[in-house]
């Protein structure tokens, strides 16, 4: 009788432990399933990025959270988030590849330092890209731009900047124009100038990218930039600004971008 009670007592004592273990396994399975679904979704459908610099002003401001579609150009190992694709063997090409268009805002992996970047596609394979006197030339023709006026704003280093704002169209058949900033048409960074660069002939399987803040962008023109970006380094196309966390204090005479929510690129 005593042995039977002891056995019942031992069984009762182990029941809470088994229950905790089962609940832990159940939670782990649930979290693992959620993580797997998130990984699949952000690898093949869309992912959210944020803007860390001013190189894409005025269209993208510091702090903007924007949606990137993964299906726009097909998929490669760079489509896998958190840099996990870097562990996979290096391969050329993309699955179900569709070429970006001139004027698209794209997110890609820097070919040299592996950082994530966002820029605008200016040139495609075979194009000749150059800047002369601050003007962008594509295949020997000056890209159309319209002066919209001066804008003064406080940058992220708390310095007042004055920029010339233009509306630009990369291609005649492009439905929408985009805005760019230029500080001057003769800007110099020591031994080179973003306003006098090239000509560059875009290689097969590559694209030439530039920032919309033309005098404040480390892009394909720059000796320290990504150069011509391989198509397989594409992550996706920037589609829309979802929201922004950045705020600026309104000051008379200074541009202060309003809160941005659900705005198409």
pLDDT band at 210 (very low <50, low <70, confident <90, very high): very high
Higher pLDDT, 76 or 141: 141
pLDDT at 214 over 80: yes
Residue found under tokens 């006026």: 149
Q: Structure pTM?
A: 0.79
**Cβ atoms 98, 205 nearer than 8 A:** no
Residue found under tokens 């894409």: 56
Which residues are known to be catalytic?
A: 55, 119
pLDDT at 178 over 80: yes
Nearest to 218 by CA among 192, 244, 248: 192
For residue 154, the model assigns a pLDDT of 84
In the chain, DSSP assigns E strands to 46-50, 64-69, 105-109, 116-123, 128-132, 135-138, 141-142, 144-154, 160-169, 178-182, 197-201, 206-210, 229-230, 234-244, 263-264
Segment (H or E) for 38: helix 2-44
- Per the DSSP assignment, residues forming a β-bridge with 193 are 196
Residue found under tokens 């920029």: 163
The SS3 call for residue 112 is coil
For residue 5, the model assigns a pLDDT of 44
């Amino acid at each position: 009788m005593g042995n039977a009670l002891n056995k019942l007592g031992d069984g009762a004592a182990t029941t809470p432990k088994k229950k905790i273990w089962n609940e832990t396994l159940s939670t782990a399975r649930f979290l693992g399933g959620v993580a797997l679904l998130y990984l699949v979704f952000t690898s093949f459908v869309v992912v959210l990025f944020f803007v860390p610099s001013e190189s894409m002003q005025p269209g993208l401001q510091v702090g903007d959270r924007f949606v990137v579609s993964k299906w726009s150009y097909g998929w490669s190992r760079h489509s896998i988030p958190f840099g996990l694709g870097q562990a996979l063997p290096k391969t050329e090409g993309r699955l179900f590849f569709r070429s970006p268009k001139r004027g698209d805002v794209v997110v890609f992996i820097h070919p040299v330092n592996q950082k994530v970047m966002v820029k605008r596609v200016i040139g495609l394979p075979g194009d000749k890209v150059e800047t002369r006197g601050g003007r962008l030339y594509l295949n020997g023709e000056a890209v159309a731009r319209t002066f919209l006026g001066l804008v003064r704003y406080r940058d992220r280093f708390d310095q007042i900047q004055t920029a010339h704002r233009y509306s630009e169209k990369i291609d005649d058949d492009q439905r929408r124009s985009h805005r760019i900033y230029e500080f001057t048409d003769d800007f110099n960074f020591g031994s080179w100038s973003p306003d006098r660069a090239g000509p560059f002939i875009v290689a097969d399987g590559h694209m030439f990218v530039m920032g919309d803040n033309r005098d404040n962008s480390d892009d394909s023109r720059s000796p320290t930039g990504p150069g011509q970006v391989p198509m397989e380094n594409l992550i996706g196309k920037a589609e829309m600004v979802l929201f922004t966390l950045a705020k600026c204090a309104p000051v008379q005479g200074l541009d202060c971008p309003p809160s941005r929510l659900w705005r198409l690129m």
